[in-house]
Amino acid sequence: MDIIEKLLDIPDIEIENIELNEKGDIIITVRSTIGITRCRKCGRRSSKLHGHDEAIMLRHLPILGRKTYIRICPARYRCTHCEGKPTTTQKLQWYKERSPCTIAYEKHILLQLVNSTVSDVSIKEDIGYGVVMGVIHRHIESKVNWDNIKRLNVIGLDEIALKKGHKDFVVIVTARDCGNITILAVLNDRKKSTVKAFLSSIPERLKKTVTTVCSDMYDGYINAAKEVFGEDVVVVIDRFHVAKLYRGGLDNLRKKEIARLKTELAEEEHKKLKGVMWLLRKNAKDLVDKESEVLERLFKHSPMLEIAYKLCNDLTDIFDSDISKSEAQVKINDWMDKAIKSGLTCLNNFLSTLDTRMCEIVNYFISRQTSGFVEGLNNKIKVIKRRCYGILNVKHLFQRIHLDLNGYSLFT
């Protein structure tokens, strides 16, 4: 008994009985050695025992691979001070009211959630899906607690498509300060009014600490940020979104050219161009010889594609170089001249974006803020979505990202 009591690691209890039930689970009946509780009405301490509630069974950490339950009849005390002499059930620090598990087991569940979905854990631990969600709800916040935040510094506004075909966006709002990322909200849609309403709800004391807003390339976000934080706030368009746009132009040209070559080239030759989509997207420095050969073959048939490819890589190089904002502005202007002279039309859309959003795009070079974190989340959420439908809910998403930020990396 003494050893088991030590192993249980639950404070202020005495074991009354240990038994196996018909399923072979271990049931440990315990009694609290604390003879007092605080009145729920007046908060004064009372030691006048009124009786015991019905027994509750709390799932605890397994012993020798067997499911283990702690059985306890919570004590009830009567207050002698309050009118009507109300009774209060004793609260103990090792389990939370209405939870079917001990806190030690709940922490175990949170750890089990690393690299797993809620369904995975529910199956492995043989507990209900709802029980796992209950643990998440009790331990992980579903809303930001402003009181815990001292300053915001950089606000990130990024969107994630919850459904294929880029419908049904949610907006992930984060604060990034010296490497710490805090999730502030998951917004239900990406309307400017929704984003603005949330940003306006930030307490005044924290609004003053916002220096930069790092955003997707969407006028609604940029305008909402400026209207809430003032015209002077530095808005940065994330380089990943900039890259997506010019790489998209290259992708469109590739599709057209491959379709053209399919009709013009012999089947054998066309086959040799298999997989060029990935090769064009791959970092040029990471290409192996064989891959470079395929690209060279492609460029021989499509000189236009080679020009577009090189232009895109040049721009990536500019974003990779350690230069100031004004140097970047000069380089990007030169690049625009080259792109216009090339006569390519696939970059027209991107060039006009550069024209209107140059300032926000080169602001990246001030402190190199990026949403790499949210880009990573995007992939994790894709995995979760394939396996667990419960996640498609803004509150759950907030909690999962919160868990992720706390080191419970459960999306991959």
In the range 381-410, which residues lie near Zn ion by CB under 5 A? none
* Closer Cβ to Zn ion, 79 or 103, answer by number: 79
Helix (H, G, I), strand (E, B) or coil at 278: helix
Q: Which residue from 79, 121, 135, 397 is in contact with Zn ion, where contact means CB under 5 A?
A: 79
Tokens 């569940």 belong to 109
* Closer Cβ to Zn ion, 39 or 397, answer by number: 39
Range in contact with Zn ion (rule: CB under 5 A) among 31-39, 162-170, 260-268, 349-357? 31-39
* Closer Cβ to Zn ion, 15 or 42, answer by number: 42
* Closer Cβ to Zn ion, 47 or 356, answer by number: 47
* Closer Cβ to Zn ion, 29 or 89, answer by number: 89
Identify the H or E element spanning 29.
Answer: strand 26-32
d(CA 384, CA 377): 10
Strand partners, 14: 31
229 CB-side CA count, 13 A: 27
Range in contact with Zn ion (rule: CB under 5 A) among 34-42, 68-76, 122-130, 233-241? 34-42
Q: Cβ 81 to Zn ion, closest distance in Å?
A: 5
Phi-psi region of 86 (alpha: psi -120 to 50; beta: other; left: phi over 0): beta
Identify the H or E element spanning 359.
Answer: helix 348-362
Range in contact with Zn ion (rule: CB under 5 A) among 82-90, 193-201, 253-261, 277-285? 82-90
Q: Cβ 125 to Zn ion, closest distance in Å?
A: 40
* Closer Cβ to Zn ion, 77 or 218, answer by number: 77
d(CA 89, CA 38): 9
- From residue 320, alpha-carbon distances to 93, 278, 315, 359, 365 in Å are 52, 21, 9, 18, 10
Range in contact with Zn ion (rule: CB under 5 A) among 79-87, 189-197, 318-326, 386-394? 79-87
Q: Cβ 97 to Zn ion, closest distance in Å?
A: 18
In the range 150-209, which residues lie near Zn ion by CB under 5 A? none
Gap between the terminal Cα atoms of the chain: 42
Q: Cβ 173 to Zn ion, closest distance in Å?
A: 44
Q: Cβ 38 to Zn ion, closest distance in Å?
A: 8
Range in contact with Zn ion (rule: CB under 5 A) among 35-43, 183-191, 306-314, 327-335? 35-43
d(CA 205, CA 243): 35
Q: Which residue from 27, 82, 233, 336 is in contact with Zn ion, where contact means CB under 5 A?
A: 82
Q: The sheet that has 56-63: what strands, in order across it?
A: 13-20, 26-32, 66-72, 56-63
Q: At what angle do helices 372-387 and 394-405 cross, to 10 degrees?
A: 120
87 is an interface residue for Zn ion by CB under 5 A = no
* Closer Cβ to Zn ion, 79 or 199, answer by number: 79
Identify the H or E element spanning 295.
Answer: helix 289-301
In the range 36-55, which residues lie near Zn ion by CB under 5 A? 39, 41-42
Neighbours of 244 (CB within 10 A): 15
Contact 234, 363 (CB under 8 A): yes
* Closer Cβ to Zn ion, 88 or 215, answer by number: 88
Range in contact with Zn ion (rule: CB under 5 A) among 80-88, 99-107, 116-124, 159-167? 80-88
* Closer Cβ to Zn ion, 27 or 42, answer by number: 42
Q: Cβ 46 to Zn ion, closest distance in Å?
A: 7
Range in contact with Zn ion (rule: CB under 5 A) among 77-85, 148-156, 275-283, 376-384? 77-85
Strand partners, 371: none
> 280, 342, 285, 293: which is closest to 317 by C-alpha?
285
Count of positions on this chain that bind Zn ion (CB under 5 A): 6
SS percent in the chain: helix, strand, coil, step 5:
50, 20, 30
* Closer Cβ to Zn ion, 37 or 212, answer by number: 37
* Binding region for Zn ion (CB under 5 A): 39, 41-42, 79, 81-82
